[in-house]
Structure 1
Amino acid sequence: MSVTLDQPDLAQSTDVAVQLSGVAKVFGHGRDAVTALENVDLTVAPGEFVCLLGASGCGKSTMLNLVAELDAPTTGTITRNTTRPAVMFQDPALMPWLTAGRNVELALRLAGFPRTGRREKAAELLKLVRLEGQERKRPHELSGGMRQRVALARSLASTHRTGAEDRPALLLMDEPFAALDAMTKDVMQGELLRIQAQLQSSVLFVTHDVREAVRLGQRIVLLSSRPGRVVREWQDTPDEDSPDLVDEINAKLREVISTHARKSA
């Protein structure tokens, strides 16, 4: 059994931000063991936006946790050639007693960003997510969409690791817009694309929404039902919603789900 979590020198592997090779994850032991992921091979290039798509319970969130080092694979190798990744969830989980600016400054402090310049950097990141002038407001004074913007700025702040300036940033996003209304979700998707293009961050984005995956992803990776395996990929997806591609992916997703249902029957 071999498990490694590797961060090699950037010069050795400039074409790879994250690479999973033969990764499996098993929870529990013996008869109670549950295999969440099995033999997963996946590579994310620097600056690439990859969407993970699949039915509930297929291991998408588990994969993010492994890449983030919140958990370790049972077998396989994960190579990461980026800053320590930032994880963004559906719930913004902001500190309610801190202002928007202080929430971002806290992430900078935990990332080892020097005290001098933290406030200016936090203001810069809030400006990047179009919250300029909102630094002094607390979470309860902000709308749901604005709170997610603060969460995004905080995630970007956590990638600012001392001595990691030459490594690309990595954002791991677990359905961050799922709880937003349709209009706010549409705006946030556009904002994320703008910021990702500007910063050239690598993004691994989990979603159940095929239309969201088509809009956001440069590449879409479909996982099978549990245990999760990569069963199909779509590359160079269009920048805008493509009905034909949405229909194609939905058909493949239904096929994956129905195959799992037949096996479980």
Structure 2
Amino acid sequence: MTATLERSTPDPRTGPPALDVRGVSKVFGSGTDAVVALDGVDLSVAPGEFVCLLGASGCGKSTLLNLVAGLDRPTSGTVETSAARPAVMFQEAALLPWLDAGRNVELPLRLAGIGRSARRERAHELLALVRLEGQADKRPHELSGGMRQRVALARALAAATGLGEGGTTRHEPGVLLMDEPFGALDAITRDVLQAELLRVWEATGTTVLFVTHDVRESVRLAERVVLLSSRPGRVVREWATASDSDPEELHGDITGELREVISAHAR
């Protein structure tokens, strides 16, 4: 049985959205072979908000994440982000095996042109943030699956940091896109990393869009859960997970709606 995760009440958010998706559709192929993955999706995420995108397998969750990340373009509609290049974290850690943990975290900073001293300092700060102090010299094969995902999270946060004046690191909240990052982990490690993710999110103020098909995970993590229909993906309903709401009641409500979506698609 998973533990309840305590979340602090966020400050009121102002300013333009960190992510703004308007009327987005995505079609793969053409003619009779065309597959409509997304159809008229609207989604706005405030700066510092944690939103879970929930839906059955094949509903277009990852497709939408790829569009927000700039890895693909919508067939129609617009996608705007406050970050020039949102950071992405996938189910697999995808660390470079020939680099140690520290240099894996440094990599996006190096590619951004940040000097060696500044990026090394930032990498050590981020490894400490994900509770991997003293592990910077370890290669991926020397780390457990959960530790590798922590390194991947630190690297994603490094990518979301961006650049400041003169090519130095800018410690401003970024945009983090997460595609079922804990799906391949065992239940206990997943629970631990969910708690760690919430801690890191609260410490950094990062905007998070988290893709999952797990209702319980979405309720535990997100401030807001957005449900997509089965293909083609459309926003069906949203739930705010306020601190005073009953998690079990919310879980039951969302699960019932998800089952209805899946049943409607099967008919």
Scaled by the length of structure 2, the TM-score of the pair is 0.90
The answer for the alignment partner of 2:3 in structure 1 is: none
Preserved CA contact (<8 Å) 1:123 1:135: yes
Preserved CA contact (<8 Å) 1:22 1:40: yes
What amino acid does structure 2 have at the position aligned with 1:27?
A: F
Local SS of the residue matching 1:41: strand
Local SS of the residue matching 1:15: coil
Local SS of the residue matching 2:116: coil
The 2-side partners of 1:188 and 1:240 are apart by: 23
The 2-side partners of 1:35 and 1:167 are apart by: 37
The answer for the alignment partner of 2:7 in structure 1 is: none
Encode CA deviations 1:19-75: one digit per residue, 9 max, x unaligned. 001000000011111000000000000000000000111000000000000000000
The answer for the alignment partner of 1:174 in structure 2 is: 179
Preserved CA contact (<8 Å) 1:96 1:138: yes
Preserved CA contact (<8 Å) 2:37 2:233: yes
Encode CA deviations 1:130-163: one digit per residue, 9 max, x unaligned. 0000011101110110000000001011112224
The answer for the alignment partner of 1:5 in structure 2 is: none
Do residues 186 (structure 1) and 187 (structure 2) align? no
The answer for the alignment partner of 1:154 in structure 2 is: 155
The answer for the alignment partner of 1:224 in structure 2 is: 229
Preserved CA contact (<8 Å) 1:214 1:241: no
- Structure 2 segments unaligned to the other structure (5+ residues): 1-13
How high is the sequence identity, in percent, across the aligned residues? 67
Preserved CA contact (<8 Å) 1:223 1:232: yes
The 1-side partners of 2:172 and 2:205 are apart by: 11
The 1-side partners of 2:63 and 2:49 are apart by: 20
- Structure 1 segments unaligned to the other structure (5+ residues): 1-12
Report the alpha carbon displacement of residue 120 of structure 1 after superposing the two structures with TM.
1.1
Preserved CA contact (<8 Å) 1:112 1:161: no
The 1-side partners of 2:119 and 2:181 are apart by: 25
Do residues 200 (structure 1) and 205 (structure 2) align? yes
Report the alpha carbon displacement of residue 115 of structure 1 after superposing the two structures with TM.
2.7
Preserved CA contact (<8 Å) 1:224 1:231: yes
Report the CA distance shift for 1:188/1:26 in structure 2 as closer, same or farther (over 3 A). Answer: same
Encode CA deviations 1:102-126: one digit per residue, 9 max, x unaligned. 1111121123323331111111110
Preserved CA contact (<8 Å) 1:68 1:84: yes
Q: How many residues align?
A: 250
The answer for the alignment partner of 1:80 in structure 2 is: 81
Preserved CA contact (<8 Å) 2:50 2:207: yes
The 1-side partners of 2:58 and 2:200 are apart by: 30
What amino acid does structure 2 have at the position aligned with 1:222?
A: L
Report the alpha carbon displacement of residue 166 of structure 1 after superposing the two structures with TM.
8.1
Preserved CA contact (<8 Å) 1:215 1:239: no
The 2-side partners of 1:241 and 1:152 are apart by: 29
Q: Map 1:1-265 onto structure 2 (within 5 A).
A: 14-163=15-164, 165=170, 168-238=173-243, 242-262=247-267
Scaled by the length of structure 1, the TM-score of the pair is 0.90
The 2-side partners of 1:82 and 1:141 are apart by: 33
